């Protein structure tokens, strides 16, 4: 029996942080044996907010190297760059014609991101982001999409559009399912546990980048906000320490209960020291692997893989164009 297919991606914008890793990339690594896996660097999504062209090129390569250094095995999984497969944009256009304005107006990510600089300066591309994401997923007959919780609303739209298209034009798309890892579906900001850890956060103290030096990691954890009281407990009414315990737990494999027991009677200082060591146990070898990757080899791999997935994407687009009624 052939394996089910998974698809997911990260935008080459800002610094890839431990929220992206724990919420998404780590799950991909765990799932790549069980599924046929396609992981994209979604640069078309990244330009929905302003970009510097040189920076975008550099970040695109950086994200590819992050995937590889984090454990995505290029023999098992296909990693490629979205803009190198033109069918993503082509399918997004067709899906635009079956998507309601009101469906996109409801999207939390658009509301949050457009609020940052004011609705007046938000671009149509940002508004349309979820439709492009639906195209990414549907193009490959994806069955499972492993993401963080912030993307679940977009996956719901992809499911709706797949069903709508199938109903109107006949069975064409697989209806995908989102896949969340409960404990890390929402890693919160170190400076504010009420908001998710985010690449575009105004303060660098919000996140730990996978490429932060050990000294910076230590400093950021030291400065991370904590709740009132001084003991280490795990509960919803202590969101800051709960978030730090979740991070500790995901990197160490220990349960929150084990961590709480380990730090019973000890204060935040000792806990943060343990957390720093645990995060660095991952980050240091990760960065060694990252530095050993050669740019030219990664660029070549990405180009080869784009050709490989293009044939899947092209077949699907031929089917879509035929069903929609384009002369072929």
Q: Which residue numbers are catalytic?
A: 113, 196, 199
Query: What pairs with residue 7 in β-bridges?
Result: 38
Q: Is 292 exposed, middle or buried (0-12, 13-18, 19+ CB in 10 A)?
A: exposed
Smallest distance, Å, CB 319 to ligand AQP? 27
Is 150 an interacting residue with respect to ligand AQP (CB under 6 A)? yes
Question: Which string of x and - marks every residue 265-304 that binds ligand AQP (by CB under 6 A)?
Answer: ----------------------------------------
Smallest distance, Å, CB 9 to ligand AQP? 6
Is 130 an interacting residue with respect to ligand AQP (CB under 6 A)? no
Q: Round to the nearest angstrom and report the end-to-end CA distance of the chain.
A: 33
Which of the ranges 64-72, 85-93, 146-154, 216-224 carries the binding residues for ligand AQP, by CB under 6 A? 146-154
Edge-first strand order for the sheet with 36-41 is 77-81, 36-41, 5-10, 144-146, 177-179
For ligand AQP, how many residues bind (rule: CB under 6 A)?
21
The position carrying tokens 């050709």 is 307
Is 66 an interacting residue with respect to ligand AQP (CB under 6 A)? no
Is 176 an interacting residue with respect to ligand AQP (CB under 6 A)? no
Residues in the chain: 328
Question: Helices 108-117 and 152-169 meet at what angle, rounded to 10?
Answer: 120
Residue nearest to ligand AQP (CB): 23
Using alpha carbons only, what angle is made at residue 29 by residues 27 and 32, rounded to the nearest 5 degrees?
A: 105
Which of the ranges 122-130, 147-155, 169-177, 213-221 carries the binding residues for ligand AQP, by CB under 6 A? 147-155
Residue partners of 234: CB distance under 8 A and separation at least 6 = 241, 242, 245, 256, 257, 259, 260
Is 20 an interacting residue with respect to ligand AQP (CB under 6 A)? yes
Query: What pairs with residue 209 in β-bridges?
Result: 17
Is 44 an interacting residue with respect to ligand AQP (CB under 6 A)? no
Question: Which string of x and - marks every residue 21-40 that binds ligand AQP (by CB under 6 A)?
Answer: --xx----------------
Continuous segment of H or E residues that includes residue 225: none
Smallest distance, Å, CB 89 to ligand AQP? 17
Residue ranges in contact with ligand AQP by CB under 6 A: 10-11, 13-14, 19-20, 23-24, 147-148, 150-151, 184-187, 196-200
């Amino acid at each position: 029996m052939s394996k089910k297919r998974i698809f997911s991606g990260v935008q080459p914008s800002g610094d890839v942080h431990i929220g992206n890793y724990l919420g998404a990339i780590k799950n991909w690594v765990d799932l790549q044996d069980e599924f046929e896996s396609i992981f994209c660097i979604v640069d078309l999504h990244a330009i929905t907010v302003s970009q510097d062209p040189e920076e975008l090129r550099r970040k695109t390569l950086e994200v590819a190297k992050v995937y590889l250094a984090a454990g995505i095995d290029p023999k098992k999984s296909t990693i490629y760059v979205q803009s190198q497969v033109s069918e993503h944009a082509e399918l997004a256009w067709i899906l635009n014609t079956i998507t309601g304005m009101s469906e996109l107006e409801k999207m939390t990510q658009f509301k949050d991101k457009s609020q940052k600089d004011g609705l007046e300066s938000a671009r149509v591309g940002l508004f349309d982001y979820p439709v492009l994401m639906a195209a990414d997923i549907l193009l490959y007959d994806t069955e499972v999409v492993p993401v963080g919780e912030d993307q679940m609303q977009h996956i719901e739209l992809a499911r709706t559009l797949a069903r709508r298209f199938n109903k109107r034009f006949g069975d064409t798309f697989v209806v995908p399912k989102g896949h969340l890892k409960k404990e890390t579906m929402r890693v919160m900001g170190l400076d504010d546990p009420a908001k998710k850890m985010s690449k575009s956060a105004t303060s660098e103290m919000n996140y730990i980048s996978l490429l932060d030096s050990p000294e910076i990691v230590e400093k950021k954890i030291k400065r991370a906000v904590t709740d009132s009281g001084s003991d280490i407990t795990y509960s919803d009414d202590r969101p800051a320490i709960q978030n730090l315990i979740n991070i500790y737990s995901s990197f160490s494999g220990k349960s929150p209960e084990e961590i709480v027991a380990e730090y019973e009677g000890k204060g935040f200082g000792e806990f943060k020291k343990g957390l720093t060591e645990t995060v660095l146990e991952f980050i240091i070898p990760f960065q060694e692997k990252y530095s050993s990757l050669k740019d030219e080899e990664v660029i070549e791999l990405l180009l080869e893989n784009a050709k490989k997935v293009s044939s899947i994407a092209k077949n699907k687009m031929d089917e879509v164009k035929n069903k929609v009624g384009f002369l072929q």
